[in-house]
Structure 1
Amino acid sequence: MDNNLTLNISGLLSNVRQTKPLVHHLTNYVTVNDCANVTLAIGASPIMADDIEEAAEITAISSALVLNIGTLNKRTIESMLAAGEKANEMSIPVVLDPVGAGASNFRNQTVRMMLERLQFSVIRGNMSEIRYIAGLQATTKGVDASEADLENSLQSGIDIASGLAAQYNCTVAITGETDIVSDGKTVICIENGHPMLGSITGTGCMCTSLIASFCGSTGDYRMAAVAGLLCTGIAGEHAYENAGQKGNGSYRTALIDEISKISAQTIHKGAKVYEA
């Protein structure tokens, strides 16, 4: 555990709860309610406005923007681009969640177009999604990382995250057994979490919402990504302790409960985070 990192993250958590940033989500309809609830649980405020008539206007009054392609359709692509361009114009942080990138030509073309037209503050994905964006061979399993891609070494993940972050001038976060965050210059690893996080839908999307919540209250997007990942991991561990034996539904509810209870003390006591 790095005490300086945990102190920094605790300060970011306090700042989120004091400033209550408005986080605009153009996200997928499978997980939208959970994303709204975890945004509230961490202390921020969610709004979901995906119609082209208001997407950019709502972005203009927000502190951060999430673009999540989980349930992609032609109507929302236009809204995502309009919202992203407005955010770039106003220097509002944009977080990309490239759900299922590599799984279909439609998703692949959309992700490439977004990367060409928009500047992202953070790109968060699983190993398969990030490998695809980096132009490497990837074998996605629907919207989940494939076992083959997960078998890559930690050093390989660090190299991919660092290279992609430098290429797109942003922070890249790869979620997995060990989470990796890089801004192209430095790397931070997080070893918190529990396997049961993979047994309920939407934990990646929820993590992205937490990252955006932190981005909305700080200009340090690298540490915002670390904070979002760490809070998800610690909450996942505590949720299993309190409700994991009851089953998936109870675990999902407990996860949101634990995010709402995250504190500086919880972070300092439970964080497994270090600079690589």
Structure 2
Amino acid sequence: MSPQYPAPVALAADAARRLTALRAQRPLVQAITNYVSMDVAANALLAIGASPAMIHAPEEAEDFGAIANALVVNIGTLSTDWVVGMEAAARVAAKNGRPWVLDPVGVGATRFRDETTRRLLALKPTIVRGNASEIMACARIAGLHDEAAAPKGVDSAHGTEAARASAVALARRQNCIVAATGAVDLVTDGERTVEIANGSPLMAKVTALGCALSAIAAAFAAGAPDAFMATVAAIGVYGVAGEKAAETALRPGSFRVAFIDALDSVSASDVATRLRAR
């Protein structure tokens, strides 16, 4: 953390304020996401106070991009037609000055996935959010080093500390925010770096909760002049909700339901008092 950066208490207060602002603004988030995560992502956006739109057709990109406040692009279940829609939506978001989030699910696993990520990175996402292995693979694809991260399917083979150098370098190369999430989450813009230690181990046992986090990051970034602080807030609020859900649910199935409820019920006060960021 750079010496001029706000203290943990100030980070928590800022995240709490941003949660209140999001619920007042109710941003419209276009989510081009994978088949597995559509339900969870849409319900997570609704629960946090945003409005989801699961629109992926390139024919709708221009019209819908004019009204959407933010975009998330998730490459989990790729097909050629969907890539066309992803690129079209990203171009429209950039043209309209809207933030967009890239979630490079499983990048590093196949040539098609790597090439799609390369093309999407060229369209300058505002935020890149992935697990440590995905962030390391994105850095390799961006030409920053030769290490090929080897994810186990869509799971991370690395901890976020291993991805720190890659995340900082990628943020600087892309002029974007990079978030590597795991047991401890790391957010950087290439100069500022924050670690967030909220959440529950159960979050890793429910499919698509990471994908839904990328959608939540898009919602927080909508209309925010500082995408770095918006990303810190999104990940912090999400982690606090995970902790609240784990207080009542002990297994993955019940946790999934409890987590959506926690996103709906998490308050600014919860965030201000429970966020652990440095």
Verify same fold: TM over 0.5. yes
CA deviation after TM superposition for structure 1 residue 92, in Å: 0.5
Deviations 1:239-274 (A, max 9, x none): 111112xx2211001001101111111012211101
Which of 253, 258, 269 aligns to 2:257? It is 253
Give the letter for the 1:264 counterpart: A
Counterpart contact for 2:12–2:273, Cα < 8 Å: no
Superposition pairs for residues 97-108 of structure 1, below 5 Å?
Answer: 97-108=103-114
The one-letter amino acid paired with 1:129 is E
> In the alignment, does 2:127 pair up with 1:122?
yes
Q: CA–CA distance in 2 between the matches of 1:119 and 1:163?
A: 15
Please name the residue that 1:200 is paired with: 206
Pick the aligned partner of 1:79 from 67, 81, 85. Answer: 85
- Picking from 187, 192, 195, the partner of 1:189 is 195
Distance 1:176 1:43 in 2: 24
Where do 1:29-178 residues align within 5 Å? 29-116=35-122, 118-135=123-140, 136-146=147-157, 149-150=158-159, 154=161, 156-178=162-184
Which amino acid in the other structure matches residue 149 of structure 2?
Answer: A
How big is the shift at 1:11? Answer: 1.2
Q: Name the SS for the 1:173 alignment partner.
A: strand
**1:163-210 Cα deviation digits (max 9, x unpaired):** 110000000000011100001111011001111111110111111111
Taking only aligned residues, the RMSD between alpha carbons, in angstroms, comes to: 1.2
Question: Residue in 2 aligned with 1:8?
Answer: 14
Deviation at 1:55, TM superposition (A): 2.5
CA contact (8 A) 2:12 2:276 kept: no
Task: Give the 3-state SS of the residue equivalent to 1:49 in structure 2.
Answer: coil
1:269 aligns with 2:273: yes
Give yes or no for contact 1:56–1:79 (8 Å, CA) kept in 2: no
Q: Name the aligned partner's letter for residue 257 of structure 1.
A: D
Contact 1:16/1:217 (<8 A) preserved: no
In structure 1, how many angstroms separate the alpha carbons of the residues matched to 2:133 and 2:203?
Answer: 17
- Consecutive unaligned residues of structure 1, counting only runs of 5 or more, are none
What's the offset of the Cα at 1:139?
1.1
The amino acid of 2:219's aligned partner reads S
- Tell me the CA shift for residue 56 of structure 1: 3.0
Normalised TM-score (structure 2): 0.93
Q: State whether residues 158 and 187 of structure 1, in contact with CA within 8 Å, keep that contact through their aligned partners in structure 2.
A: no
Distance across 2 between alignment mates of 1:200 and 1:7:
29
CA contact (8 A) 1:15 1:217 kept: no
8 Å Cα contact 1:161-1:173 kept in structure 2? yes
Runs of 4+ in structure 1 over 3 Å off: none
Identity %: 40
Q: Deviations over 1:31-62 (max 9, x none)?
A: 10110111111111000111121123212211
Helix, strand or coil: the match of 1:192? coil
Are the aligned partners of 2:15 and 2:272 in contact in 1 as well (CA < 8 Å)? no
Write the distance in 1 (CA, Å) between the matches of 2:57 and 2:131: 28
Amino acid at match of 2:257: T
What's the offset of the Cα at 1:159?
Answer: 2.0
- Between the two proteins, the alignment pairs up a number of residues equal to 266
